[in-house]
Structure 1
Amino acid sequence: MNAFRFQARTVAAAVLLLVCALQLLALLRAPAAWMPSQITVTLGRDASLALGRAALAAPLADEDQLLLRRDAGGAWWIANGGATPLRLLDGERQQRSGSVAVASGQRFQLGAARFAVDAADGGTMSFSRGAVRWRYDGALLERDGVPQPSCPDARLGTRLAAAWNRIAPRALTMARPLVFGGNLDCGNRIAIAGLPAPAATIARDRGGLLLAAATGPDAAPLLLEEGGRADLLARRALRLGADSGHVLVAGRTRYLVEPNGDVLHLHPVAGVGLYAEPRVRLPDGVVWTWTQRALWHVPEAAALPLLAAAALALGAGLAAFLPRRRGRGRGVAVRAALGAGCGVLLAATGVLSLWLQRTGMPAGAGVALLPAWGALWLAVLAPRRFEPALGAAVLLLALGLLAQLELGLDAADSSWLRHAGKTGALAALGTGACLLAGLVRPALPPGQARVELGLLLLTGLALAGLVLQVALGSETGVFDLQPVEFAKLALALLSAHCLALACAGHPLPGGAWLRLLRLVAPALLFMLLLAVAVVQVDDFSPLVLLAVWGGAMALAHALATRQRLAAGLLVGCALLGVLAVAGLRDAGPGEIARWDFYADRFLVWLDPAGHPHTGQQLLLGARAIGDGGWWGADGVLGLGSPGPGSALRIPAVQDDFAPSFFLNRHGLAAALALWLLQALLLAGLLRLALRCWQAGGRTRDFRLAWQARFRCFFLAGGAAFLFGHMLLSWGTNLAIFPVMGQPMSFLSAGGSHLLFFICPLLGFAAASSQSLEENESCPSTCNTKPWAGSTTCSTPTPSGNRPASPCSRGARCCATCSNAPRANNGAAPPPAASRT
């Protein structure tokens, strides 16, 4: 077994070295790219100038995106000339072109409909149209004091949100925008004949409500009257202050704005267009200062990450060659010190790398990969017991970093490289945190009371995050985070704890309230996750993901308790689900169109060519996969230089459609190797879960049995969630399922899924493997008093005597010794009167 683990570590290190070499090769052979470091605009007084995407180096801006003007007093004004709105940020305050804060006395007109704002205060407004009076508070619209009925085409989530908003206090209501347009007054919609919805919207904003005109070439004009002046809201100009510090966002390109008399300096900091040579045609009055894209650029604030990464690599190397002694000794202490130092440095490096990206001072792509390399090699070299699942996970993350790096280097936009940098930073942060948690674990005895308290705190954080997302966020998250991923981790832990107690073969310990709390907490979290999926998400992928996880956990419990009939029924239900998906292919669009549950997703899936706009992901993804073939777009598994391909035009190619890019770049042959690695990861987690279950059946201590069952069910639940993500992502990209928005684990751009779910799961797997090794290596001679607090072990001494001494691992070690009497087969301890 030791030889097998050594060979597995050697193979994983060799493959990781190859993937890291490919990443370095991609950086070294990247073509030279140029971009403007400063755009200087010279404009006299009472003059104006229109700038588009070419002059602004903004790939996603419009042709006449920015209208610059100087008035007679010399002040600079900006207005939006295209369909994409502009944003101007001044500290915490944000202004958006085509929008205005709602205030009393305003009047606005859409088509033939005229509205007057009678009162607006504290996020609530009252307005009128003729004799009809309306009231809106950011969540609920009332007409003449009565909430409107739900629209006939409203989905279940919209109806549930509307029902909640009618009864909940305003602070707990879910934000729902007010929409103008359409032919029917219903829900949060006000009909305007001849104008399709949304012709305009009013929604919650910081400190109040925001009226926004629709964008797009066919958008209806919104005329705003305020302060005795009437003008089109979409063309209303925003004034630039005389001081620096403004941030202008055009498309997805961000600029630092610096007015200086007749000259306006724009410093692009993110989303800048890249050019093969420093030459472009510019309008009069516009000058660019060129700079070359630096892949090894080191900001001044990034000196510490470089030092930390070097120290981390040195520490990991030393730790790999130190003797791995089981007992207490100098080598163990040195390894622990090195591990603590590596964990702190790695986590600090990840945090600092994220901070550099958030502040607009990112390091070059090569420098940003250093924390990721440190994390990957530490994950391979540091563990004393190397599991195949950990090796597969490390290789999958390395391949994902390679794909994201290639995506960023191929794109004609500087912002695409941020995905690889963010993934590397989060991997470093998560690996460092797991390493520190593993060092702290022996100092914190995992008693059941402590675990249950931790689970309750974890549940509270998950519930608070979900409530914040529903109240203040959207399906993309809240505060740049995805609380759903953290809630999935909490749900898997809670369910594992409940199933571990249920499989003990005796009534649950504790009072009635405690037993009820153990059962209600995971159910409450599951129902809230289900509600968020229905209300916030615009597809049914979370429902499928939760169904896969729930079915897998039910199957695991049925197999553990030897309920063969229940297990057979669950397997049959899974086969019926497969047949149902296959049968949907034969369903006609007319039958599906009558559905009231995401029917548009199925219609686009069955006939993407008939829906060219909404079906472009499927069409472009299929084209990219076809261009890749078996050996990649370049014919050599992506080892050549294919350059920008059709895959870059797929919407969300860095997230939901990352597999399409991988298939296009490296071909189906490389995808088969990726599938084998994913299968190895899932099989490794399930194998480790099975070993934990077997260890729980052999132990003499009911606490150890509960811990082993807890590890078993959590690893099985984590594997089920990963399988659900992979199943949905591959099914979406290969058009097996309708388009559903779930990232591919490890391959898609890093975010909350990597930090809040994958890293804790892998850290837990490594800790479980270490615990199994500790229990299997217990001394063969123990003097144990079952269910008593005193436990002693006989340990050899150089003289050959075996004096009794405290066990180095405590009762967790000695309770599994061969000469300890078996008591209740790992169940709860017997009553005090029967203890001997």
Structure 2
Amino acid sequence: MTARPGRRAASAAALALLMLLQAWSLWRAPAAWYPAEITVSLAAGDSIALGRHELAAAQAERSHVGLRRDAAGAWWLRNLSAGKHLLLQTADGERRMGSAALRARHSFRLGAARFEVETAGADALAFAGAGRHWRYDGAVLYRDGDAQAPCPDAGVAARALALWNRAVPAALTSGRALTFGGNLHCGNRLGLADVTPGAAVLARRDGQWQLSAGNPDGARAALALSADGVDVELRRQEQPLSGVQAIVVGHTRFQLRQQDGQLHLLPSRRVALFSAPEQKLAPALRWQWRQRPLWDGAAQGPLWSALALAALAAALTARRGAAWQWRGAAAAATLVLLAGIAALALQRAGHAPAPACSMALGGAALWLWLALPGRLPLAGAAAVLLLAAGLLAQLELGLGGMESSWLRYYQKSAALLAIGAGLGGLWRLWNLRHPGVAGQRGVEWALAALALAALAALAMQVLWGDETGVFDVQPVELAKLALTALTAHCLALRLGWHSVDRHRASRRARWLRLIAPVLLFLALLGMALVEVDDYSPLILLLVWCTAMAFAYALAARNGRLAVAVAALALGAAGAVACLHGADPARLPLAGGFYADRFLVWLEPARHPHTGQQLLLGARAIGDGGWWGADHFLGLAGLGQNAGSAVLIPAVQDDFAPAFFLNRHGLAGALLLWGLQAAFVVGLLQTARRGHAAGAAARDHRLAWQGRFRYFALCGGAAFVLGHLLLSWGTNLAILPIMGQPMSFLSAGGSHLLLFLCPLLTFCAASALSLEENPSCRSMSSTKS
């Protein structure tokens, strides 16, 4: 099979069109303004209340912050919100307003109950109250020396985590806050009569025992701290601003500066945008307006230089020999990689590149993917266009939302795409210069290292993270990659045992030894996914397992297994269809989180609060119709306000398809579906060629390598297909599932960098290797 220049040319033309649409969106975007600095001028003894309107903080309450200047001229801060916290950032760290550090001989009162702190060491806090002695180590609450029983509503994951925290040393425990309120002592809950559950929270933060006022749904009990003979009501606590460097109000961060008797607040994230530099403010307030930058920004000169050098290197290699082509491509990939790292570092430092620079960075990464030497497979061509379409949708969302933070998803995706394309390009070039069959033992060591890294990342998420990940990374994406590779290796070895083997007993032992790591890794991954407050990851694993079983049945020519797996898949689809038409009153739903999800899916109108995502998404899809909200496939609305579609919760992640349907209509979605189908089919085509090459190979290493490619690409295609099915099913109300981003379209940075980019790199390298395989070429020419 020879390379197809027509595919590369068509892909380049389509990519150029999508990049022109991004540039047109930036060009048509209207000017937007935001306050770069807010100045507060108060006379001694005066005070002022600030909120959403005065601070340009969309997530703040109407009256959120109270500022006061005392007779000596010092500034004081108070939280006026009853339901949202106020964060203070000092040189010592970050803490919440309404909280205090507990020390020995302190006492605190919650409602009518009083507690005396006996000891406050580095390992535990001991206190007495409510007729009991309590000990809390940051993970487990002990009542009179005994750990409390789990709460009746605790799930399997919570009970397993409680047992883990009691069994392991303190350094390996997973921190769990202690809550006050309710009528039941259980788990990490200290029950108090006539106090709403969650009225106060005790946790270890930065080596201190922090007592904070909670946000219960019911009445809020008074929380007072007594220290050195002074009683302080934590909910009404007033904090001097001396030493405070920044505050966070409703997710908007403000740097503070006091100068000439005035207080200057500099907003730096999630700032509301305005169509004109006009706003009615109190006489004590003054805004300094600044226009949103779209084409230029500070500290991005090195990025433009790196991209220009990368373009120059790519242009010079077109007229040189093979050696110069390889060196030029390596230089271009390295420059794109460095530019992506620099862009991500600038964004993390609060100086994100301008959208125009991010557009050039993303375009360079995609052009690099097309320009690298070697055959361009169908999956690679479809992936380039899907990535460009995803960047266009994220740019539309960033420009259409009247808040400064919406563009950060586009900027982060462009930076991560450049990093992934640069790393993948360098690996492909190295593999091109050093062809040959990789040693099986070396691959096994590499897979073991990948599995250990994924397990360590999952453990870090369990210990220090939450369901959103740890350190701004989703370890589950790396775990999916490792699981796919491990399973492919084990199934590739297992498929080679169909040859004649006299040692049947030893074959069974080898089977158990090879499959045990995969089962263990799958069990650990499943346990980590259970902690996520959603069952869609488990459904994703089920889709992957079903696809891998079907792929193995086809490779092993096991017709019975293939029929059984196909029947299971059809039965599951039929069960979902039956459930969708069932009467909710007749379903055996016992209540709880998952039951609520089913009820929202079946009757979203009766659950307007919990079904907000589904209802708003359905409304946005209905407004889009066939040709988009602008009735012109979204082309007339490029760069303009996105309307109510940005109000959908998680519109950048789980409900990105609803936004795409609203902007580009069902006609645009059909084009997107075609590209997604082409990508999955392209992966399966390369997988089929790998299986054919392995079956025709006479060398056992070549045979194993062909089978490994087959199962690895089938596993990657299964995960991508699962993401697409669950995401479309959620947005179109076909499935009672929420919580899965859509590959290529959603702003999923970890999914892009840790799963999609390695999968695309492996697919491209496999296609190039199969092209150079003599047996594969002979089979292709025979079929032709």
TM-score normalised by length of structure 1: 0.88
Are positions 1:476 and 2:471 aligned together?
no
Mean CA deviation greater in 185-194 or 264-273: 185-194
1:545-603, CA deviations, whole angstroms, 9 ceiling, x for partnerless residues? 11111111111111111111011111111111112212222052463431677222212
1:576 aligned onto 2:548: no
Alignment of 1:261-280 (within 5 A): 261-280=260-279
Q: Deviation string for 1:206-255 (max 9, x for gaps)?
A: 2133322223785514422232222332332333335xx82321112122
Which deviates the most, 267-276 or 84-93? 84-93
Stretches of structure 1 lacking an aligned partner (at least 5 in a row): 323-329, 781-815, 819-836
Q: Counterpart of 2:321 in 1: which secondary structure?
A: helix
Change over 3 Å in CA distance of 1:691–1:716 after alignment to 2: same
Q: 1:497 aligned to 2:489?
A: yes
Contact persistence 1:204–1:210 (CA under 8 A)? yes
1:319-468 correspondence to structure 2 within 5 Å: 319=317, 321-322=318-319, 331-441=321-431, 442-443=433-434, 446-468=438-460
1:686 positional shift: 0.6
Hey, what's the Cα distance between the residues in 2 that align with 1:91 and 1:23? 41
Q: Aligned partners of 1:779, 1:402: CA distance in 2, in Å?
A: 38
Deviation (angstroms), 1:92: 6.0
**Structure 1 counterpart of 2:242:** 241
Query: In structure 1, what residue type is equivalent to 2:396?
Result: E
SS, match of residue 278 in structure 1 = coil
Structure 2 contact 181–197 (Cα < 8 Å) conserved: yes
With over 3 angstroms needed to count, the CA separation of the structure-2 counterparts of 1:778 and 1:716, relative to structure 1, is closer
Structure 1 residues 95 and 670: alpha-carbon distance in aligned structure 2, compared to 1, 3 A threshold: same
After superposition, the C-alpha distances for 1:687-722 in whole angstroms (9 at most, x for unaligned) are 100000001112221111111111111110001011
Match of 1:810 in 2: none
User: 2:527: which partner in 1?
Assistant: 531
Q: CA deviation at 1:91?
A: 4.6
**Secondary structure in structure 2 of the residue aligned to 1:593:** coil
5 Å matches for 1:622-633?
622-633=618-629
Query: CA separation in 2, counterparts of 1:42 and 1:512?
Result: 80
Q: Distance in 1 between matches of 2:583 and 2:260?
A: 66
- Which deviates more, 617-626 or 516-525? 516-525
Distance, in Å, in 2 between the alignment partners of 1:181 and 1:603 is: 29
What is the match of residue 327 of structure 1? none
What whole-Å deviation, never above 9, does each CA across 1:57-106 have from its counterpart, x for those lacking one? 11111112121223344333322112321212235611112222333333
Q: CA deviation at 1:419?
A: 0.5
Aligned equivalents of 2:736 and 2:109: distance in 1? 40
Q: Which runs of 4+ in 1 moved over 4 A?
A: 216-219, 506-517, 777-780
CA 1:116 to 1:623, structure 2 compared with 1: closer, same or farther past 3 Å? farther
Is the 1:475–1:537 Cα contact (8 Å) retained in structure 2?
A: yes
Answer with 464-473 or 698-707: which moved more. 698-707
Q: In structure 1, what is the equivalent of residue 107 of structure 2?
A: 107
Shift of 1:753: 0.6
Match of 1:686 among 684, 704, 707: 684
Measured after TM superposition, the shift of residue 144 of structure 1 is 1.6
Check if 1:758 corresponds to 2:756. Answer: yes
User: Where in structure 2 are the equivalents of 1:680-759 lying within 5 Å?
Assistant: 680-759=678-757
CA distance in 1, matches of 2:212, 2:123: 15
Distance in 1 (alpha carbons) for counterparts of 2:743 and 2:94: 34
Match of 1:769 in 2: 767
Between the aligned partners of 1:481 and 1:615, the Cα distance in structure 2 is: 28
- Amino acid in structure 2 at the alignment position of 1:159: R
Picking from 609, 628, 636, the partner of 1:640 is: 636
Q: In the alignment, what sits opposite 1:610?
A: 606
Tell me if structure 1 keeps the 8 A contact 2:198–2:216. Answer: no
CA 1:387–1:185 in structure 2 vs 1: closer, same or farther (change >3 Å)? same
Per the alignment, residue 232 of structure 1 pairs with 233
Whole-Å separation in 2 of the counterparts to 1:817 and 1:679: 23
SS of equivalent residue, structure 1 residue 247: strand
- Measure the CA separation in 1 of the matches of 2:776 and 2:52: 69
Look up the equivalent residue of 1:601 and give its one-letter code: R
Give the AA of the match of 1:186: C
Tell me how far apart the structure 1 counterparts of residues 711 and 514 of structure 2 sit (CA, whole Å): 15
Farther off after superposition, 558-567 or 36-45: 36-45
Q: CA deviation at 1:174?
A: 2.3
CA distance in 2, matches of 1:387, 1:92: 54
8 Å Cα contact 2:225/2:234 also seen in 1:
no
Tell me, in whole angstroms, the C-alpha distance in 1 between the residues paired with 2:514 and 2:91.
Answer: 46
For residue 236 of structure 1, what is the amino acid of its counterpart? Q
* Contact kept in structure 1, 2:195 and 2:221, CA below 8 Å: no
| Identical-residue share of aligned pairs (%) | 50
Amino acid at match of 1:713: F
1:172 aligned partner? 172
Q: Give secondary structure in 1 for the equivalent of 2:87.
A: strand
Runs (5+) with no aligned partner, structure 2: none
Indicate which of 471, 477, 495 corresponds to 1:485. Answer: 477
Q: CA 1:44–1:513 in structure 2 vs 1: closer, same or farther (change >3 Å)? A: farther
How far apart are the structure 1 equivalents of 2:776 and 2:736? 52
Q: Which residue of 1 aligns with 2:37?
A: 38
Does residue 68 (structure 1) correspond to residue 59 (structure 2)? The answer is no
Change (3 A) 1:547 1:401: same
SS in 2 for 1:297: coil
Distance change in 2, residues 1:159/1:124 (3 Å) = same
Query: Partner of 2:587: helix, strand, or coil?
Result: helix
Specify the alignment match of 2:557 in structure 1. 562
CA contact (8 A) 2:771 2:777 kept: no
Find the residue that maps to 1:133 and give its secondary structure: strand
On the 8 A contact 2:197/2:216 being kept in 1, the answer is no
Q: Identify the structure with bigger relative contact order (alpha carbons < 8 Å, sequence gap 6+).
A: 2
Summarize deviations over 1:662-698 as a string: whole Å, max 9, x none: 1111111101111111111001001100000001112
CA gap 1:217/1:162 in 2 versus in 1, 3 angstroms: closer
**Larger displacement relative to structure 2 (432-441 or 642-651):** 642-651
| 1:472-512 deviation line (CA, Å, top 9, x unaligned) | 11000011111111111111111111111111126799999
Structure 1 residues 409, 817: CA separation in 2 closer, same or farther (over 3 Å shift)?
Answer: closer
Q: Given that residues 123 and 208 in structure 1 are in contact (C-alpha distance below 8 angstroms), is that contact kept between their aligned partners in structure 2?
A: no
SS at match of 2:268: strand
Do the aligned residues in 2 keep the contact of 1:99 with 1:211 (CA within 8 Å)? Answer: yes
**Alpha-carbon distance, 1:772 to partner:** 0.8
Q: Distance in 2 between matches of 1:593 and 1:716?
A: 36
1:376 deviates by: 1.0
- Does residue 547 (structure 1) correspond to residue 542 (structure 2)? The answer is yes
Asked if the contact 2:654/2:727 (under 8 Å) is kept, the reply is yes
Q: How does 1:116-195 map to 2 (within 5 A)?
A: 116-195=116-195
Residue identity in the other structure for 1:584: L
Contact 1:74 1:261 in 2 (8 A): no
Distance across 2 between alignment mates of 1:640 and 1:257: 42
Q: Secondary structure at 1:270's aligned position in 2?
A: coil
Partner in structure 2 of residue 252 of structure 1? 251
Which secondary structure state, in structure 2, belongs to the residue aligned with residue 115 of structure 1?
strand
Query: Is the 8 Å Cα contact of residues 155 and 597 (structure 1) preserved in structure 2?
Result: no
From 590, 593, 598, give the equivalent of 2:589: 593
Q: Does 1:54 align with 2:44?
A: no
**Which AA in structure 2 matches 1:340?**
A
Amino acid at match of 2:397: L
Specify which of 496, 499, 516 is matched with residue 520 of structure 1.
Answer: 516
Q: What is the root-mean-square deviation of aligned Cα atoms in Å? A: 2.5
Moved more, 405-414 or 382-391: 382-391
CA distance in 1, matches of 2:61, 2:776: 70
